[in-house]
Every structure is written in structure tokens, then in C-alpha cells.
Amino acid sequence: MTRGRNGNGVGPASRPGRPVKASSRVYVMVGSPGAGKGTQAQLLSTALGLPHIASGDLFRAALASGSALGEEARSFMDGGSLVPDGLTVRMIAHRLDESDAAEGAILDGFPRTLPQARALDDLLAERGSSVRGALYIDVSQDELVRRLSGRWICQGAQQHVYHETLRPPAQSGICDVDGTQLHQRPDDRPDTIRTRLKLQLPPMYEVVDHYADRGVLVAVPGEQPVEHVTSSLLHAIDRAAAAQATT
């Protein structure tokens, strides 16, 4: 069982959500940093034939293109401010208008807060759609700290990333590619990670509760091999689709 903001155990939700157009399959990835959302989003993108839309990639692409949205985002980022939710939603709306997203998409990195989830609901409702499934990868805090604190980065120009247990270098402390020494960023240290998680987890649990209340939460344990998590998500998606087809 997984737990949301109020400590309520929630598994794959059973309450029916808002009707979704058959041609629109919008899924959102939910989980803490280190839970494996990006990895699973890429694998699910291939399995489901839907584009993987990562909010970070959207920002980078918009900035690089010099588009009006990108320049608007730059005005906030250059000033050290967070990009407003409304602007992020507009970027997502623009991306969903592209032809490869005609059948839906897998959103990664957004929503992260309850206001963002509600804004996404409003955007999709305007299009006669809604979130088909919120794919929650549930990982314990101790495991998150282990995963995040094990990251080491080389000092070369490409900054190749290693992990103490998941992807160790052939020679301890040395990059396999360019031979430079590995170092750990201050924000990858266990005490810093625990402090950061205390701030990040409560808003995420609100998002979990939101989608559970809407009947579209798909929760799977994330402390399994990568391929097992993917299989669990796909099976849960199939079950949810079958249940929706009978309602």
C-alpha cells in the first residue's frame, strides 16, 4: 500500500474518474526525485507509442528556440525566479498540440504540486480530455537517500555520471571515459538530500491524494528491478483501461 498526504493507504484507485476521450491517453508520472520517473517514462513511451514530455526538456527547447514562450521563461529564470505555473501549462499545451501527441502523452516532471495538478486538469478539460492515469512509483525515503547519495560525477567537460552501486566505474574514483577524478556534489550528500526531501515530499503526497480522489492513481512499488517496475505499470494501466471500458 502507498500513502498520500493524509496517511491514507492507496493502491491502484477504484473510484471512477472523469470520462476521457478514447483517442486521448495522457499519463502523468508521479514520484520523488530518485524514484525513476524519467527512466520509466522513456520505457513506457516506447511500449505505449506515446511521446515522453519532460518539463525540463520543454524549458531547454523553448530557451534554445528563442520562441516567445522561451523568452518569457528566460525573463524569470535569469532573475532567479521560478517559472510561473501558468507559463509552464502554456508550454505543455503547445507541446500537446504537436502531431506526435495527437493520441496522448506521458508527462514527466509536471505536475509536482496540487495547484499544478489542478491547472493541468483545467487545461485538459478545455480540450475535452483528462488525465487517464497518474503513474505513482512508490519508493521509501531511505531508498531514495541511498539512490541519490550514491551519485558521483566526473570533472571532465561531459560530466559523466556514476553511481556507487547502480553504475560504478571500472576503477574506483576515476571516470571510465576521460580518466578524470570523480567528485560528489554537495547537494548529493545524505544529510542534504534528507533536508531536501522534507520539503519535496509533502507537495508530492498532495498530488498523490488528488489523483487518488479522482480515481486515476496507479501505484506500484518502485524498489524492484527496472524491468519489473515497467511491467507492473503496464499491467496496472491495462487493468485500469479494462475497468474504464466497462463503466
The pLDDT value given to residue 187 = 85
The pLDDT value given to residue 60 = 84
The pLDDT value given to residue 117 = 96
CA dihedral 37, 39, 42, 43 (to 10 degrees): -110
**C-alpha 191 chain-centroid distance:** 23
How many domains in the chain?
1
Nearest alpha-carbon partner for 36 in 120, 114, 143:
143
| 46 occurs within a structural domain | yes
pLDDT tens-digit readout, 66-94: 888 888 888 888 888 888 888 999 999 99
> Average pLDDT in the 205-217 region?
96
Return mean pLDDT, the chain.
86
| 195 occurs within a structural domain | no
- Find out whether 205 and 7 touch, Cβ atoms under 8 Å: no
173 Ramachandran zone, left/alpha/beta (phi>0; psi -120 to 50): left
> Average pLDDT in the 226-243 region?
90
CATH of the domain at 20: 3.40.50.300
Strand order in the sheet with 104-108: 52-54, 104-108, 25-30, 131-138, 217-221
Q: State the Cα–Cα distance between residues 211 and 8, nearest whole angstrom.
A: 13
- Residue 169: asked if its preceding bond is cis (omega within 30°), the reply is no
pLDDT tens-digit readout, 169-189: 999 999 999 999 999 988 888
| 226 occurs within a structural domain | yes
Active-site residue set: 37, 112, 151, 185, 196
Angle at 237 between CA 231 and CA 242, to 5 degrees: 125
**Pairing verdict, β 52-54 and 104-108:** parallel
| 87 occurs within a structural domain | no
pLDDT at 211 over 90: yes
Most confident of 83-92, 157-166, 219-228: 219-228
Domain range spanning residue 127? 2-51+98-140+200-245
**C-alpha 154 chain-centroid distance:** 25
